[in-house]
């Protein structure tokens, strides 16, 4: 392990620890979520974990589509490994974002699941990348597998705007807060941005470890 990697890991550790501390002790409660009862609920602190997870998973899928495009262009297996690693870790983030969202939805809205447009989109994203992984499982030859799954990942990004931007807007109503709808204090915004940076860096680190495992497996045959 090089010095640079070690520094990165320590910085990441300190950064995430500080962000988690700030999420609970520095940031005030969001008044945007205060119901008719008065006080803003502690549950509004979900914003420091749920939102960064969702943003980072979207980033992961974007990165995966980009590496898939690079694979189709250059045909190096390392790019394929990068794309798979990003999708696998992105799936993990996506599942965590779904679960944290559902738990918060139970507290705030009274039901774990209500097919809010955002919930539908995230389920479709999970279905899609689940299909990607089962496609990889169904092809034996590593070159064909890389080629087909890269095509599928790129195709997904043609359909993604419909899932994430068009269909949620077409729905008649949504309870899901959007940036801007819930007023936020400056401190809250600061911690959210710090958490997005931290979770994205964590994603990059886990994905790079996964990519190295895939490289070594391919070398071993």
Partner 1 sequence: MMSWLGETWAILSKEWRCELRSRYALSTVLLFAITTLIAVSISVGPAGATPEQRPLMPVLLWLILLFAATAGLPRTFVHEEETHTADPLRLAARPSCLFCGKTLYNLTLLLVLEAVVTPLFLVLLQVEVADLWSFAIALLVGGVGLAVGSTLIAAMVAQARARGPLFAVLAFPILLPLLKLVIDASFVAVAGEAQSPALGLAVLYDSMVTVASLMLFPVVWNP
Residue ranges in contact with partner 1 by CB under 8 A: 72, 124, 127-128, 130-131, 134-135, 138-140, 143-144, 147-148, 150-152, 154-156, 158-159, 162-163, 166-167, 170
Compute the least distance from the CB of residue 102 to partner 1, in Å: 20
When the beta carbons of 28 and 161 are compared against partner 1, the nearer one is 161
Residue among 72 and 103 whose Cβ is closer to partner 1: 72
Q: How far apart are CA 5 and CA 154, in angstroms?
A: 31
Decide whether 26 or 152 has the Cβ nearer to partner 1.
Answer: 152
| Pairwise CA distance, residues 141 & 221, whole Å | 12
Contact in structure between 2 and 28 (CB atoms under 8 Å): no
DSSP 8-43: HHHHHHHHHHHHHHIIIIISPPPGGG--TTSSPPGG
41 or 69, CB closer to partner 1?
A: 69
The CA angle 146-148-152, to the nearest 5 degrees, is: 110
**Residue 10 and residue 28: Cα distance in Å, rounded?**
28
Nearer to partner 1 among residue 64 and residue 192 (C-beta): 64
Could you tell me the smallest distance in angstroms from the CB atom of residue 168 to partner 1?
11
Q: Residue 100 in contact with residue 46, Cβ under 8 Å? A: yes
Q: Residue 152 CB, nearest distance to partner 1 (Å)?
A: 7
Closest separation between CB of residue 141 and partner 1, Å?
Answer: 9
CB of 148 to partner 1, least distance (A): 5
CB of 171 to partner 1, least distance (A): 10
Q: What are all long-range contacts of 6-14, with beta carbons under 8 Å and residues at least 24 apart?
A: 8/205, 9/205, 12/198, 12/201, 12/202, 12/205
| 14/144 with CB nearer partner 1 | 144
* Closer Cβ to partner 1, 46 or 153, answer by number: 153
Closest approach of partner 1 to the CB of residue 97, in Å: 18
What is the residue-wise DSSP string for 180-213? TTB---HHHHHHHHHHHHHHHHHHHHHHHHHHHH
71: which DSSP letter?
A: H
């Amino acid at each position: 392990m090089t010095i640079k990697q070690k520094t990165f890991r320590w910085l990441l550790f300190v950064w995430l620890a500080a962000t988690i501390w700030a999420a609970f002790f520095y940031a005030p409660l969001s008044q945007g979520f205060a119901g008719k009862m008065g006080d803003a609920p502690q549950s509004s602190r979900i914003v420091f974990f749920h939102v960064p997870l969702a943003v980072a998973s979207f980033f992961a899928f974007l990165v995966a589509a980009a590496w898939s495009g690079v694979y189709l262009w250059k045909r190096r297996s390392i790019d394929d490994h990068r794309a798979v690693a990003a999708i696998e870790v992105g799936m993990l983030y996506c599942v965590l974002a779904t679960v944290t969202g559902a738990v918060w939805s139970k507290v705030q809205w009274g039901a774990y699941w209500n097919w809010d447009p955002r919930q539908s989109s995230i389920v479709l994203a999970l279905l899609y990348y689940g299909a990607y992984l089962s496609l990889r499982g169904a092809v034996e030859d590593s070159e064909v597998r890389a080629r087909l799954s890269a095509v599928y990942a790129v195709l997904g990004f043609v359909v993604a705007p419909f899932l994430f931007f068009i269909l949620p807007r077409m729905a008649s109503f949504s309870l899901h807060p959007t940036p801007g709808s819930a007023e936020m204090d400056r401190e809250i915004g600061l911690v959210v941005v710090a958490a997005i940076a931290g979770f994205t860096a964590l994603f990059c680190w886990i994905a790079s470890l996964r990519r190295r495992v895939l490289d070594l497996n391919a070398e071993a045959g």
